[in-house]
Structure 1
Amino acid sequence: MRTLVLLGLFISALATAQTNTYHISFDNADHHEAKVNITFPELKSNSVIVRMSRTSPGRYALHEFAKNVYGFKATNSQGEPLKFERPDPYSWKVSDHDGTINIEYILFANRGDGTYSQIDETHAHLNIPATFMYAEEFEHRPVTVNFDVREDLNWKVATQLKEESGTTYSAPDLYYFMDSPTEISDFNVKEFDLDGQSIRFVLHHEGTEEQFSEYFEQVKRIVEQEKAVYGELPEFDYDEYTFLACYMPNVSGDGMEHRNSTILTDTESLAEGGMKGNIGTVAHEFFHAWNVERIRPDELEPFDFAEANMTGSLWFAEGFTSYYTGLMLCRANVISPEDYIKGLSGTFNYVWNSPALQYFNPIEMSYQAPFVDAATSVDPVNRENTFVSYYSYGSVLGLALDLALRQQGLNLDDFMKLMWLKYGKTEVAYQIEDIEETLKEYAGEKFATEFFSKHIYDSKRPDYQKLFESTGMKLAQEEEKVYFGASLRATEDGLEIVRNTFKSSPAYKAGLDSGDIIISIDGNKVTTLEGFKSILENNENGIVKVVFKRFENERETEVSLEADPSFSISIDEKASQEALKNRKNWLEAK
């Protein structure tokens, strides 16, 4: 996320500048512990504050990594103990040194994903901010780190850090170090060359070589199709990009982009659904190598490791990337055009049937990221009625913009390419107004102003009926189905409402809420979802009497059923030849 200095200057800097050195070992991996040692040399001030990060690149919420650190010690160059105090929950202030401070601590780590670290007998899966302390005043110093791998477990190191020798790696500054996740395990590697740069896929899994080869062929086609959108690859540092994939039963599903690498984690093996189930994350995260890593929102520069990071551009940075995720799978022949089009319905309904749109437009929805982006809280929230994911919101807006542009003889690919040339290749951070101005430059002022005023600064739904017709698709509403408006699960006592009921839905208007247990409908006891559905479908007057339990007390209400507001998106078998041509140009490989 920072432009690196030229390699020659970096080598020179390493030779002359004071370097902070890190060392990590994993003797107690069975109990998820690592031992970390850090040396800060050539110190000028009497006191130095070292801290654990509270955030991580690619995340927008606070994560408080300090909670997993203990056994802290500080010594000088002679190994003599130094005084330290805790000015806040995240920091250690060390004083009265002799020009050098040595830090030692134990890290507990047992969540393998894109945000946290995990250490066990299968691997050391390290997200750097969740693993290593830092001193902000030395952010421009080079860093070297030695990973003391478990040779008895045949561990190897994979990372975007620069290999110096053996298991010692380097970064030109703190930011690059913090942005460099590392997988240490007995992994496999495949790579291919594209335009003089190496695309590596590191895979830690329990599958076969044949499965990896099949998966890797899909990865290659995706990389080639995403490059085709922008016309070129980014200039990856050290001419190398690395996918760090860990498909193991002990990890948590995730994907997290970084400057020259990405973390991919999932419990599904390639043999047990991961061949298709995991590949979408590959497409999403690699697209980020352009959109968000280099075409970067101004509010995220520089990234703040001490506070939550907020930007109103996530509908574009994450949402448009989500739009291209499915499109790239289609163009890379990983999924068929029919499956791609059919798959649009779920996201479409989630967004456009949400009551949350009356509260927030896409920009304001992006501002919710510090509260929803893997954030945790113990008090209940009303997200069902107040929040639509900026991933999904931006995705359906990206779809609308692409189809609208194509009606003008343009397309979203070329607009993204223009954003790349203006803000990505140059690595000049953009503001929301810059997206609008670039769209004016590409498609004209009237088109851009109307799109932004209706769909970005407001929450109006585009005319998808016409947009879909232009590419041989149909949009239909499921009006023959009955709509109740509550998410239910079967219990021994009845059907429990497990989420807040949707505002303006029949259940909401009848006063039903999360936690209520429906006992009977029209005098018929209900204990299964199938029975509940059957009663509603056979109701003739559109009103049902519901007996439910709340706080151990039985209550009764009437629910006026409505037509299902859901839409279906499908291929129009009667589409014109022009529409079929438009769809082919949209979905075919480039």
Structure 2
Amino acid sequence: MRYFILCLSFFLYLNVLSAQSNSYTISFENAVHHEAKVKATFPNIDQDTLSVRMSRSSPGRYALHEFAKNVYGFRAFDSKGNPLEIVRPDPYQWKVYGHDGTVKIEYLLFANRGGGTYSQVDETHAHLNIPATFMFAPSLEERPIEVTFDTREDLNWKVVTQLHLVSGTTYTAPNLQYFMDSPTEISDFGRREFNVDGQTIQFVLHHNGTDEELDTYFEKVKKVVLAEKEVYGELPNFDYGRYTFLACYIPNASGDGMEHRNSTILTSTRSLADGGMEGNIGTVSHEFFHAWNVERIRPQSLEPFDFEEANMSGALWFAEGFTSYYTNLILCRAGLMAPEEYIEGLAGTFNYVWNSPARQFFNPIEMSYQAPFVDAATSVDPVNRENTFISYYSYGSVLGLALDLALREKGLNLDGYMKLVWEIFGKTQIPYKIKDLQNTLGEYAGKKFADTFFNSYIYKSEMPNYKNLFETVGVLLKTNPEVAYFGAYAALDGDGNGEIKSNPTIDSPAYIANLDKGDIITAINGEPFPDGQQFDAYLLQFKPGDVLKIEFERFGKPKTTQVKLVSSPTYVISPSEKEGDELTKKQRDARKDWLKLK
């Protein structure tokens, strides 16, 4: 009798919930042509007009993506199936009039990009980013949501999502924000999982490989999870006690990674057998670190997430950039990347940031403000990003490196600071302001230290003394003054000439010589543009101080100029012992602690 009463109470609860919920059904009969059919019901409406719309943005992205462009065949009905009047006041929404307290809508969705931002429907899977898939009613955003995925049994499709399972293929979300943050993979996938402190970490992989490859890769994933848990000392409390990696490593996917509260999207065209075993694990590392930093250690500027506008935050140097610093560091600590490979791999990001003229225009906060223009945003007009923008991923990464090494000189480390930020803002889920990060660093390492770091490198765009910082862990930072530098990239244009493909770097030899992107180089020192050789390799025959006579065409008119080469500003980063320097015990111990070497 007690069991019967409990079951009856549960079903009554579901009936009440259903009456108060917005409900969706999505089906995939025409998957071969990348179409999904979506139906939704909005009951108990107490306003004369219901506005429904497609999102313009997506959690984890900061630019506008205008998902409404892929919607067509929209119709609306009342509870009895009578057609309703529809008005389009703008490209993003549909206003529905004349209902009887219930509005039912249906539409077709075209979806054919399998990544973290968009959706993809074909006969291999239904890969759904929720904002790119489902319309919503802004006035009803606090209502619970129920969604049923009508799977293709003929394709052996199964459903995986962070949404809460009701039964079969029906799931619930407590409100719109949670629903929009819950990507869903529907395919014939493989699944592996393990338990960490009472919570389940599951890795779901849609791929064309073998179970043995999945087993091998899952062992790498487990090492990443445990190494990142060590940074913070604990896992977050995941909703429903579960975190899910949703991986699609298939030829029709698009390379991407996108974090969510209790799950992450991982997509790549690289199979595990074709380089993905090593090439894809970095995205695993980056996205899982976001389970702490950005999902729960949350910038106030992103709360609540706005589905109708671009989302701008000045904290991305920390949210994305410090996460990027840990991406490869975690792989090294987990034994998935050799220490020498990790150290030498720092050079690419370091040179990009250190040698960029963009720092004269924007500091890290202002670079973060650029996200709506660069984060998978598209435009057709040319821009001068080579000279005016540094990715907040990269900028924050090299600043995270500097902060870590500087803290280690004080007997502290970045792990300790991240733990404190986690305790104050992550576990409590109190969104932070940038000033809060500064104050927390002051609490951890002293006010003077924190003020110097933020006032010099965050509010301004100065650079730390990396040479001295690297020396503390036995790492050498040096340039080669014998290597010549041109300042722009050129390549064959197909007619035997060379085209300058990038905006010349400000104050570089090419810039000073008034060369510009799109110029066609016809001769260098009286010789044709090199055929069959990379331009950078061609320049190795010259020395700093050499002058190149450049003959080129601009808008069809012949011109000449002279380019005086200078020493390359590119740095090499390497373990000091590789250059013949013997490490002191202090350097060895510091590096061992930094990289958590056994």
The aligned runs of 1:154-165 (5 Å cut-off) are 154-165=156-167
Mapped to 2, the partners of 1:428 and 1:532 lie a distance apart of: 51
CA offsets 1:458-496 (integer angstroms, 9 cap, x no match):
111111111100001000112211101111222323111
Which residue identity is paired with 1:515? G
The match for 1:579 among 578, 584, 587 is: 587
CA offsets 1:407-427 (integer angstroms, 9 cap, x no match):
000000010000000000000
Alpha-carbon contact 1:183-1:244 (below 8 Å) kept: yes
Q: Does 1:145 align with 2:153?
A: no
SS at match of 2:20: coil
Q: Does 1:375 align with 2:383?
A: no
Q: Which runs of 5+ in 1 are unaligned?
A: 1-7
Counterpart in the other structure of 2:571: 567
Mapped to 2, the partners of 1:489 and 1:183 lie a distance apart of: 41
SS at match of 1:71: strand
| Distance apart, 1:204 and its partner CA | 0.3
| Distance apart, 1:196 and its partner CA | 0.3
SS at match of 1:350: helix
Q: Quickly say closer, same or farther: Cα 1:571–1:146, change in 2 above 3 A.
A: same
Counterpart in the other structure of 1:476: 478
Mapped to 2, the partners of 1:584 and 1:368 lie a distance apart of: 37
Alpha-carbon contact 1:20-1:40 (below 8 Å) kept: yes
SS at match of 2:143: coil
Q: Quickly say closer, same or farther: Cα 1:481–1:210, change in 2 above 3 A.
A: same
Runs of 4+ aligned residues of structure 1 deviating over 4 Å after TM superposition are 8-14, 531-535
SS at match of 2:533: helix
Counterpart in the other structure of 1:174: 176
Q: Which one is further off, 522-531 or 469-478?
A: 522-531
| Distance apart, 1:251 and its partner CA | 1.0
Counterpart in the other structure of 2:5: none
| Distance apart, 1:87 and its partner CA | 1.2
Alpha-carbon contact 2:302-2:313 (below 8 Å) kept: yes
Q: Does 1:393 align with 2:401?
A: no
SS at match of 1:515: coil
| Distance apart, 1:551 and its partner CA | 1.3
Mapped to 2, the partners of 1:508 and 1:103 lie a distance apart of: 57
Counterpart in the other structure of 2:74: 72
| Distance apart, 1:252 and its partner CA | 0.7
Counterpart in the other structure of 1:465: 467
RMSD over aligned CA atoms reads: 1.6
SS at match of 1:530: coil
Q: How many residues align?
A: 583
The match for 1:525 among 519, 524, 528 is: 528
Which residue identity is paired with 1:351? V
| Distance apart, 1:14 and its partner CA | 7.5
TM-score by length of 2: 0.96
Alpha-carbon contact 1:315-1:390 (below 8 Å) kept: yes
Mapped to 1, the partners of 2:392 and 2:35 lie a distance apart of: 36
Mapped to 2, the partners of 1:531 and 1:186 lie a distance apart of: 44
Counterpart in the other structure of 1:316: 318
Which residue identity is paired with 1:507? A
Counterpart in the other structure of 1:100: 102
Alpha-carbon contact 2:64-2:377 (below 8 Å) kept: yes
Q: Quickly say closer, same or farther: Cα 1:149–1:53, change in 2 above 3 A.
A: same
Counterpart in the other structure of 2:559: 555
Q: Does 1:415 align with 2:417?
A: yes
SS at match of 1:339: helix
Counterpart in the other structure of 2:514: 511
Counterpart in the other structure of 2:356: 354
| Distance apart, 1:544 and its partner CA | 1.0
Q: Does 1:546 align with 2:550?
A: yes
Q: Does 1:500 align with 2:503?
A: yes
| Distance apart, 1:167 and its partner CA | 0.6
The match for 2:135 among 133, 136, 156 is: 133
| Distance apart, 1:539 and its partner CA | 4.0
| Distance apart, 1:11 and its partner CA | 10
Alpha-carbon contact 1:57-1:179 (below 8 Å) kept: yes
| Distance apart, 1:128 and its partner CA | 0.2
SS at match of 1:44: coil
Which residue identity is paired with 1:521? I
Which residue identity is paired with 1:557? T
Counterpart in the other structure of 2:4: none
Counterpart in the other structure of 1:4: none
| Distance apart, 1:297 and its partner CA | 0.3
Which residue identity is paired with 1:545? K
Report % sequence identity.
Answer: 64
| Distance apart, 1:215 and its partner CA | 0.7
Counterpart in the other structure of 2:3: none
Q: Quickly say closer, same or farther: Cα 1:291–1:539, change in 2 above 3 A.
A: closer
Alpha-carbon contact 1:13-1:142 (below 8 Å) kept: no
Q: Quickly say closer, same or farther: Cα 1:539–1:336, change in 2 above 3 A.
A: closer
| Distance apart, 1:537 and its partner CA | 3.8
CA offsets 1:502-524 (integer angstroms, 9 cap, x no match):
11110111011111121111111
Mapped to 2, the partners of 1:577 and 1:328 lie a distance apart of: 24
Alpha-carbon contact 2:79-2:102 (below 8 Å) kept: yes
| Distance apart, 1:538 and its partner CA | 3.8
Q: Quickly say closer, same or farther: Cα 1:270–1:19, change in 2 above 3 A.
A: same
